[in-house]
Amino acid sequence: MESPYAWSFTTGTAADTTAPTVTATSPANNATGVAVNAAVTATFSENMNASTLTTSNVTLKNGATSVPGTVAYNGTTATFTPSSALAYSTPYTATVTTGVRDAAGNAMASNRVWTFTTGTAPDSTPPTITATNPANNATGVAVNTAVSATFSENMNASTVTTATFSLNNGVTGTVAYSGTTATLTPSSALAYSTQYTATVTTGVRDAAGNAMANNRVWRFTTRAAPPAGTVRILLLHHSTGFYIWEGDGIQTIPGGLDTYNTAHGTNYVIDELWYPSNTYPLGSNNPYDYWNLWVNTTDTSGQFDLEALTQNYDVIVFKHCFPVSDIEPDSGTPDVSSGGQTLENYYLQYAALKTRMLQFPDKKFIVWTGAALRAADTTVAKAARARIFFDWVKGTWDESGDNIYVWDFYELETGGTNYLLDENADSSDSHPGSAFAGRVAPYFVNRLVDIIEGRGDTGSLTGE
């Protein structure tokens, strides 16, 4: 036998029967903030039959609307390129259908579907200034004020500088930016009674680089200089007034005024006086009693009259204790010289007092509204009359431009109701409580200082 003949061979590979898959997509499924010029790609697990990668089998839709575009195939990646930019903030659905086949003709087992959402439109809106402090045309502005501008949106902080935010009159200072607010802090106090112009230029830009459309310019005027000499103030009161004078033992009227003097270099000196004194037979401080002592002037109980009081004081503060709010119905026969506590009599007495105080134009008078009664200490009708009276005092009787002013104690006590609120009251009666007194004593000081310094007609009536 001849030698055996040996040979070898290799069988061919098995035919490809494995379906292709999509191994990666771009954008990824559920991607957000996708660029509107992004291409959409699908990468397959193997080489594909390029002729099957068509716009029929690789699609992009917004809802039911097809996005026009072209499909290219390279490597193992099919790319759908939209004909134009996608819309902002819009969801899209990409699909590769089972119409695509691998090189051996195997179809994908199922459609591959994924979604993504494009990003928001870029900011092309110029920023604006929504508020300024001081406001345009503000008057009585403190000389130690900072000046601020609040923008409609976040700004590029590096554009908010002393070059883009400034005050005129040679003011130097620093500019800070925080939140959406730019603040210019002058290096030293502004001048009194001076108009300033603040400017924010179009050099400021929002975070996207948009400039303001126009410069923002506003003006304000600083307050007048405080009186240089001593201002003497007298608070006439009975018990309710003294409760506020003492405050809560920490916040007091004289303490608050001392603090103000120290901070502002002023010399406002306040005294208090139980008035009328106990030698006055009626022992009360209702509207009738002030009329009797200041207008009628026939009292012989040794009370200071208005000439005597104004000889020693520049500012006279007067008030009533809570019995003033115990107001009876009108009788129909108003009488200025009646001690009857009716609206008709109060109106006449206040009118006469006003005429009298206007005879002292170099002095200032402050009437302290109230006091009010607790609901438990009065009736609905009496409390309603008290509300009518004190609304009349501040809304009708008090006028701008004269030497008479109001501190609206009644509003602080009642919180807008007709009654001394229980939480503002002493536990036993309609006297103010200590916590309330401590809270409002600084308000009185604010109001007093406003009036002394010429802001009586523009400042808050409560001093808050």
Which of 141, 190, 404, 445: binder of Ca ion (CB under 5 A)?
A: 404
Using the 8-state DSSP alphabet, how is residue 211 labeled?
Answer: B
Measured CA to CA, the distance from residue 324 to residue 284 in angstroms comes to 9
In the complex, the smallest distance separating the C-beta of residue 365 from Ca ion, rounded to whole angstroms, is 9
Q: Which stretch binds Ca ion (CB under 5 A): 107-115, 284-292, 316-324, 393-401?
A: 393-401
Q: Looking at beta carbons only, is 347 or 436 nearer to Ca ion? A: 347
Q: Which stretch binds Ca ion (CB under 5 A): 23-31, 96-104, 363-371, 389-397?
A: 96-104
With CA atoms as reference, report the closest residue to 175 among 193, 197, 153, 199. 199
Per-residue x/- track, 179-208, Ca ion (CB under 5 A): ---------------------------x--
Q: Looking at beta carbons only, is 18 or 259 nearer to Ca ion? A: 18
Structure tokens at 402: 């004269």
In the complex, the smallest distance separating the C-beta of residue 66 from Ca ion, rounded to whole angstroms, is 29
Which of 57, 80, 86, 102: binder of Ca ion (CB under 5 A)?
A: 102
Q: Looking at beta carbons only, is 19 or 171 nearer to Ca ion? A: 19
In the complex, the smallest distance separating the C-beta of residue 105 from Ca ion, rounded to whole angstroms, is 9
Which of 99, 123, 154, 255: binder of Ca ion (CB under 5 A)?
A: 123
Measured CA to CA, the distance from residue 229 to residue 265 in angstroms comes to 10
408: left (phi over 0), alpha (psi -120 to 50) or beta: beta
By CB under 5 A, tell whether 321 contacts Ca ion. Answer: no
Using the 8-state DSSP alphabet, how is residue 425 labeled?
Answer: B
By CB under 5 A, tell whether 106 contacts Ca ion. Answer: yes
Element (H, E) at 274: strand 267-274
In the complex, the smallest distance separating the C-beta of residue 397 from Ca ion, rounded to whole angstroms, is 9
Beta strands in 9-168 (DSSP E): 22-26, 31-34, 40-44, 58-62, 65-66, 69-74, 77-82, 91-96, 112-118, 129-133, 138-141, 147-151, 165-167
User: Cα torsion at 397, 402, 404, 408 (round to 10°)?
Assistant: 70
Which of 166, 210, 378, 446: binder of Ca ion (CB under 5 A)?
A: 210
∠ CA 390-406-357 to the nearest 5 degrees?
105
Q: Looking at beta carbons only, is 94 or 212 nearer to Ca ion? A: 212
**How many amino acids of this chain bind Ca ion (CB under 5 A)?**
11
By CB under 5 A, tell whether 344 contacts Ca ion. Answer: no
Scanning the structure block, which residue is given the tokens 């070059």?
Answer: 163
Which of 330, 402, 426, 464: binder of Ca ion (CB under 5 A)?
A: 402
Per-residue x/- track, 125-154, Ca ion (CB under 5 A): x-----------------------------
Q: Looking at beta carbons only, is 106 or 341 nearer to Ca ion? A: 106
Q: Which of residues 14-33 bind Ca ion (CB under 5 A)?
A: 16, 18
Q: Looking at beta carbons only, is 433 or 459 nearer to Ca ion? A: 459
Question: In what order do the strands lie in the sheet containing 112-118?
Answer: 31-34, 112-118, 91-96, 58-62, 65-66
- The residues near 193 (Cβ < 8 Å, ≥ 6 apart) are 221, 222, 223, 224, 225
**46 three-state secondary structure:** coil
Q: Looking at beta carbons only, is 191 or 207 nearer to Ca ion? A: 207
Q: Which amino acid is at 84?
A: S
Q: Which stretch binds Ca ion (CB under 5 A): 62-70, 117-125, 167-175, 335-343?
A: 117-125
What residues line the site for Ca ion (CB under 5 A)? Answer: 16, 18, 102, 106, 123, 125, 206, 210, 398, 402, 404
